[in-house]
Amino acid sequence: MSITGKLLINGEWVTGQSGTYQAVNPASGAKLEPILSKASSAQVDAAVAAAAACAAEFRRCSLAKRAEFLRACATEIMALGDELVQRAIAETGLPQGRIEGERGRTCFQLNMFADVVEAGDFLDVRIDTALPDRQPLPRPDLRYMNQAIGPVVVFGASNFPLAFSVAGGDTASAFAAGCPVLVKGHSSHPGTSELMAQAIDKAIKQTGLPAGVFSLLMGAGREVGSALVVAPEVKAVGFTGSFSGGMTLVKLANDRPEPIPVFTEMGSQNPVILLPKKLASEAEQVAEGFVTSLNMGVGQFCTNPGLVLGIAGPELDRFIKAAEECLAKQPAGVMLNQGIQEAYNEGVATISSQPGVTCNAVGESHQGKTGFCGQPTLLTVSASDFIANTALTEEMFGPASLLVTCKDLAELEAVVTSLKGQLTGTIQTAPGEMSEYPELIDLLNTRVGRLLVNGYPTGVEVCHAMVHGGPFPAASDVRFTSVGSAAIYRFLRPICLQNYPPELFPEPLQNSNPLNIWRLVNGSRTRDAI
C-alpha cells in the first residue's frame, strides 16, 4: 500500500474532509505527489470517540499482548522498506544514512518498550497485606499499581520524522503504558507519517487489538491539534517542538474544565562550559568537536550546543580561532522546511543585532544552492552583555551558537545563574579539573535535565538512564523525560485497590505473582509470591 493521502480513523482509511494539500521537498522546493487530505472536526471527534471506547480494553490487555503489539509495530516499520526511506528523505532533506539510522532507533525504541512492558517495573506495584489483628484498628489489604492514564494525543515533531513522530518515543511509551494514541502528524512529513501509520495499523490488526487504539489525523494549521487537546476524553498530550507551539498546548490543556498533563519538550540552548585546563591542553580538539556537533543535521536538534561559556584568556582565544576555522569549512545544509529556515535566519539576525554581539564566523554560503539551506554561524558576546539582555537566551533552532566570554569564574557563575531551564549542560574538563568548581556544577545541575562531561549533547541515547527533559522552559514538566524507558511514566497514574476481591485482581496484583515482576510487598522489594 503506497501513500494515499488518507487518514487512519478507528481502523479505517478515510479521506480527510477539510481540504487538501501537498508535501514539499525542502531540497528543491517542489511539491510532492500525491494530493493529501486534512481532517475535519467531525473526523477528529470520531477518532477521539474510538480511542475512548477502547481505552478500558487496552488498559486491561495483558502485558504480553502489549509487548507483542510493540514488536509488531517495529517489524511492520522495517517491512515498509525503501519506500519509507525515500519518502522521508524527500520530505525532510535529511540524508539516507540519517533516515536509516533514525528508523533503526525508532524500531529499537519500540522493542525496548516491549521489554519494559514485560519487565513490569513501570507498574511500581506495592502491596500492603491486611493486618486484621492490628491495634487500635486493623489494616485492610491495599494494592497499588500504575495504570494507563487514558487516551493520549501525540504531536509529530518536524526534526525527527520517524523517532519523534507517528511511531516515535511518545507513541511507543503511551502504547507501552496501555493508552490509545491519537497522532496529529506533522505537515512537514505527511507521507512519511501515513506510511508509519500503515505499519501501526497492520500491527493492530495482527495482534487483534481494538482499532481505536491508534488514529492518524493530519491538518495544516492548529485546528486539528487544538481540537484533540480540548477533547474531554483525552487525558494527556506529548509534544516536541517550539516554545510558542508548546505553550499554546499547555494553555489549552490548563484551561480545560478538566486540566490534563501536557509534556512539551521545547528545546533549549544547551550550554557548553569550557574549563580552562581543558582548553589549555586541547582547545583545538574541543573546538572541532563542538563545530561538528553544532552543524550535525544542520543543527536541527533540541540538544544542539547553542551556547558556549568560557573564561577569557589565551586558551579561549585558541578555541575561538580553531572554531572559526573549522566553521568556515562547514557546508550549508538543507533544513527541514521553509518555515524552519526562515525562523532560523530571523533568529540569527535578531541575536546578531543585539548590543555587544559580534559574528565571528559563518560556514559556507548557501547562495546558488537549491532548497531551504541554513548557514552555520558563530556569534560572540561578553558575559555582561549576555546577562543584561534576556533576548540572548532565545534558542536559534539551527546551526548557530553564541559564545559568551566571561572575565572570571564569578562572571561565569553569574551567566549560569542567569540561564533558564535547559535540556542539557556540558562541561569540557581536564582530568580532575571539574572538582575545582563545585558551585558552578551545582548551579548547572539545577538548570538541566542531563549533565554531560567531555562530550556533546547532540547524541540522545535511547536507554533506561536517559533524561530528555529539564527545568522550564526546556520542558513543561521537569519531573519527566520524553526519551528513554522512563518516558512511560508520563502516561501512567497510580490506583489503589483496597480490600478488593482476590478473584478480580489484575495479574500484576495477584498473590502468586504470575508475571514474575518485582514488587514492593510490605516494604520489601521481591519477586516472591505472597
What three-state secondary structure class fits 14? strand
Site for a copy of itself (CB under 8 A): which residue of 5, 297, 363, 469?
469
- Report which DSSP code applies to 475: B
Catalytic annotation on 463?
Answer: no
User: Which are the contacts of 314, defined by CB distance < 8 A and separation ≥ 6?
Assistant: none
Complex with a copy of itself: residue 151 or 398, whichever CB lies closer: 151
518 binds a copy of itself (CB under 8 A): yes
Minimum separation from the CB atom of position 220 to a copy of itself (A): 29
Q: Which stretch binds a copy of itself (CB under 8 A): 13-21, 41-49, 379-387, 522-530?
A: 522-530
- By CB under 8 A, the residues from 332 to 361 that bind a copy of itself are none
Identified binder of a copy of itself from the candidate list 32, 230, 312, 451, rule CB under 8 A? 451
- Residue 302 bears catalytic tag: yes
What CA dihedral angle connects 84, 88, 94 and 97, to 10 degrees?
Answer: 0
Q: At what angle do helices 223-230 and 243-254 cross, to 10 degrees?
A: 40
CA 412 vs CA 303, 310, 383, 440: distances in Å: 21, 7, 7, 8
Among 47, 471, 488, 513, which residue interacts with a copy of itself (rule: CB under 8 A)? 471
**Residue 455 contacts a copy of itself per CB under 8 A:** yes
> Which residue in the set 32, 328, 388, 520 belongs to the binding site for a copy of itself (CB under 8 A)?
520
51 binds a copy of itself (CB under 8 A): no
Phi and psi at residue 342, to the nearest 5°: -65, -40
In one letter, which amino acid is 392? L
Which residue from 486, 384, 426, 491 is spatially nearest to 146, judged by alpha carbons?
491
Q: Could you say whether residue 297 binds a copy of itself (CB under 8 A)?
A: no
Least distance (Å) from a copy of itself to the CB of residue 359?
A: 30
| 3-state secondary structure (DSSP) of residue 139 | strand
Q: Is 43 helix (H, G, I), strand (E, B) or coil?
A: helix
Q: Which of 133, 368, 501, 528 binds a copy of itself (CB under 8 A)?
A: 501
**How long is the chain?**
530
Binding span for a copy of itself by CB under 8 A among 160-168, 356-364, 392-400, 472-480:
472-480
Ramachandran category for residue 170: left, alpha or beta (phi over 0 → left; psi -120 to 50 → alpha): alpha
> What residues between 258 and 277 interact with a copy of itself by CB under 8 A?
258-261
Place of cell 486491561: 60
Separation of CA 482 from chain center: 5
Q: Does residue 274 sit in helix, strand or coil?
A: strand
Distance CA 170, CA 164 (A): 7
Nearest to 492 by CA among 173, 259, 210: 173
**Would you give the binding string for a copy of itself spanning residues 215-244, x where CB under 8 A is met?**
------------------------------
CB 256, min distance to a copy of itself, A: 9
Residue 205 in contact with a copy of itself, rule: CB under 8 A: no
Residue in 3, 72, 149, 335 binding a copy of itself, rule: CB under 8 A: 149
Calpha distance 335→351 (Å, rounded): 20
Contact 240, 184 (CB under 8 A): no
Helix 169-177 vs helix 96-119: crossing angle, to nearest 10:
20
Residue 126 backbone phi and psi in degrees, to 5: -135, 125
String marking each residue 73-112 x if it binds a copy of itself according to CB under 8 A: ----------------------------x-----------
Residues 128-147 contacting a copy of itself, CB under 8 A:
128, 136-137, 139-140, 142-144
Residue 307 near residue 401, CB atoms below 8 Å: yes
In the complex, the smallest distance separating the C-beta of residue 367 from a copy of itself, rounded to whole angstroms, is 34
Catalytic residue selected from 302, 326, 373, 406 = 302
In the complex, the smallest distance separating the C-beta of residue 421 from a copy of itself, rounded to whole angstroms, is 7
Q: How far is the CB of 11 from a copy of itself (least distance, A)?
A: 22
How many chain residues are in contact with a copy of itself, going by CB under 8 A? 82
- Give me the least distance between CB of 296 and a copy of itself, in Å please: 12
Q: Is 448 in the site for a copy of itself (CB under 8 A)?
A: yes
- The CB-side HSE value for 491 (13 A sphere, CA atoms) comes to 30
Should residue 394 be labelled a site residue for a copy of itself when binding is judged by CB under 8 A? no
Helices (H) and strands (E) in the chain, counts: 14, 23
Applying the rule CB under 8 A, the residues between 399 and 428 that interact with a copy of itself are 420-421
Q: Decide: is 289 part of the binding site for a copy of itself (CB under 8 A).
A: no
Applying CB under 8 A, the span of 294-302, 312-320, 371-379, 481-489 interacting with a copy of itself comes to 481-489
Using CB under 8 A as the binding rule, whether residue 288 contacts a copy of itself is answered as no
Which residue lies nearer to a copy of itself by CB, 228 or 441? 441
Residue located via cell numbers 516536541? 240
Residue whose CB is less far from a copy of itself, 328 or 520: 520
Burial class (CB in 10 A: 0-12, 13-18, 19+), 175: buried
Please report the sign of the dihedral spanned by the C-alpha atoms of residue 359, residue 365, residue 371, residue 373: negative
Cβ atoms < 10 Å from Cβ of 525 = 8
Among 265, 315, 395, 411, the active-site one is 265
With binding defined as CB under 8 A, does residue 119 bind a copy of itself?
yes
453 binds a copy of itself (CB under 8 A): yes
Regarding 461 and contact with a copy of itself (CB under 8 A), the answer is yes
Q: Which residues are catalytic?
A: 265, 302
